[in-house]
Amino acid sequence: MGALLVAALLAWQGVTAAGDPNPTAPHTDVWMGALDIAILVFREGLECVLVLSAITAGLMGAAQSYRRPIAAGSGVGFVAALITWFIAVGIVDDLTHNVSALAIQAWTGLLAIVVLLVVMNWFFHKVYWTGWISFQNRRKRALLHGADTTGSSRARLLLGLGLLGFASVYREGFEVVLFLQSYRLQLGSRIVLYGALLGLLLPGIVAALTFLAHHRLPYKRMLILTGVLLAMVLVVMVGEETQEMQQAGWIGATSIPWLGWLPAWAGTWLSLFPNWQTVGAQTAGVILVVGSYLVARYQAVLLPLRRGKQSFQLRQAPPGT
C-alpha cells in the first residue's frame, strides 16, 4: 500500500506539472518538510505503542480491567503534550521580540537536531528505550504485587497505572514538541499540523491493530525502516541548520570548488550546499549515527561471542596455565 501511494503521488506530480516538475520552484520543499515531520511523529508514535503494549501485555483475564487507568493516563499524556506545544510556541514567540529571527531559527534548529540524534542513537537506546520499557514493566509489577482490592491501596494502584500510561505518552510527545519548533518557524503552523496529523494517523493504525485486533506486527522491521528514513531527514536538517547558522553570521562558508556542479535544487530539496561547513556537519551526523549503531551491535553480538570464546579457551586450558 505504501509503494502504491508513492507511485500515485509521483504520477500525480508528473500530470500536474505536465511531465516536467521544476524542483527549484518556490515552496516545493514545504511538503517535503511535512513528510519529514510525519516520519518523526510516526517513529515516536510507534515507540509509544511499543511501550504501552509491553506494559499491558500481561494484563489478561481478571487483570484486564487494569488497562483502563493506563489508557486514561495515556489520554491525559496526549492532552498534556498538546498543552506543552502551546507553551513552547509562546516561549519561542516571546524570544523573537528580543532576539533576531535568524538566531531563534538557528537555536531551535540545533535543538531539533539534538532531539533527532537522541531518537536515532542506537547505542543510547540501550538505556533510553529498552531500559525505559524495562523500568515501566518493573514499576507495573511492583504496583500489582503490592495491591489489594479495597481502600486507599487500590486508589494508589489505579493512580500508579495511570501515571505509567501518562509517562509513556508524554515522554514521546515532549520530544516531538521540541523537534517541531524549528519546522514551525521555517514552514508555519499549518504545514506542521498537516505533517503531524499524517504522522499520528500511521501509529493510530498500528495501535488499532495491536490493542483492538491483537495482531503481532513486525515492529523491529518497522523501526529499522523508519530509522533509515530518519537518517535522510537528519542529513537534510543538518544541512539546513548549518546554512541558517551561516546566514545568522555564527560560522563562515568555505566553498568547495569540485562540488560546484551541484544544481540549485540540491539545496532546495536535500540541503546539499557546496561548502566545507555544511558537508562536514552532515558527514559528522551520519558518522555519529552509524558509529553508535556499530558500537551497539558490537556490544550486543560480537562482545558476548568474544567473551564466550575466551571463557571456553580458559576451560580447555591445562591446569596451571
Q: Report the first-to-last Cα separation within the chain, whole angstroms.
A: 63
- Residue 93: pLDDT band (50, 70, 90) is confident
What pLDDT is stored for residue 25 in this prediction? 54
Kindly report, residue by residue over 198-225, the tens digit of the pLDDT. 889 988 988 888 888 777 777 777 777 7
Average pLDDT, the chain: 78
Question: Which residues face 275 on adjacent strands?
Answer: 255
CA dist., res. 242 & res. 230, Å (int): 18
- Residue 28: pLDDT band (50, 70, 90) is very low
The packing angle between helices 219-247 and 30-56, to 10°, is 140
Lowest mean pLDDT among 86-95, 98-107, 254-263: 98-107
Lowest mean pLDDT among 22-31, 68-77, 140-149: 22-31
CA dist., res. 289 & res. 113, Å (int): 12
What is the pTM (predicted TM-score) of this model? 0.71
Kindly report, residue by residue over 54-82, the tens digit of the pLDDT. 888 767 666 677 788 888 999 999 999 99
